[in-house]
Amino acid sequence: MRVAFLGLGIMGRSMAANLVKAGHEVSVWNRTSGKDKEVEGARTASSPADAAKGVEAVWMCVSDTKAAESVLFGPNGVSDSLAEGMIIADSSTISPAATLRFAERVKAKGVAYVDAPMTGSKIAAAAGSLIFMVGGNDAALARLQPLFQAMGKQVFHMGETGKGQATKLAMNLQIAMIFEGFAEALTLASKLGVDIEKMLPLIQASMVRSGVVEYKAPFILQRDFSPNFPLRLMLKDIRLALDAAKESRVRLPGLEAVEEVYDVAAEEGQGDLDYAATLMLLEKWAGVEVKAAAKAS
By annotation, the residues acting in catalysis are 168
Domain final residue, candidates 160, 195, 212: 160
H helices of 89-195, where?
A: 96-107, 122-127, 138-151, 163-191
pLDDT digits 0-9 by tens, 44-78: 999 999 999 999 999 999 999 999 999 999 999 99
Q: CA–CA separation, 189 vs 185, rounded Å?
A: 6
Instruction: Give the number of residues written for the chain.
Output: 297
- State the pLDDT confidence band at 291, using cuts at 50, 70 and 90: low
- Residues 226-251 have a mean pLDDT of 97
Q: What is the DSSP string of 115-142?
A: E--EES-HHHHHHT-EEEEEES-HHHHH
Whether residue 27 contacts residue 51, with contact meaning beta carbons closer than 8 Å, is answered with yes
Whole-model pTM over 0.75? yes
Q: Which amino acid is at 99?
A: T
Q: CA–CA separation, 164 vs 156, rounded Å?
A: 9
53 lies in which domain range? Answer: 2-160
| Same domain (yes/no): 151, 173 | no
User: Which residues, including other chains, have CB under 8 Å from residue 289's CB and lie 6 or more apart?
Assistant: none
Q: CA–CA separation, 288 vs 192, rounded Å?
A: 10
Q: CA–CA separation, 235 vs 266, rounded Å?
A: 8
| Same domain (yes/no): 111, 205 | no
CATH of the domain at 122: 3.40.50.720
pLDDT digits 0-9 by tens, 124-180: 999 999 999 999 999 999 999 999 999 999 999 999 999 999 999 999 999 999 999
Q: pLDDT at residue 295 above 70?
A: no
Looking only at the bridges linking them, the beta strands covering 25-29 and 2-6 are parallel
CATH of the domain at 243: 1.10.1040.10
Residue percentage of the chain with pLDDT more than 90: 94
Domain final residue, candidates 114, 142, 160: 160
Q: CA–CA separation, 166 vs 171, rounded Å?
A: 9
* Eight-state DSSP code of residue 26: E
Q: CA–CA separation, 9 vs 132, rounded Å?
A: 17
Total count of domains within the chain = 2
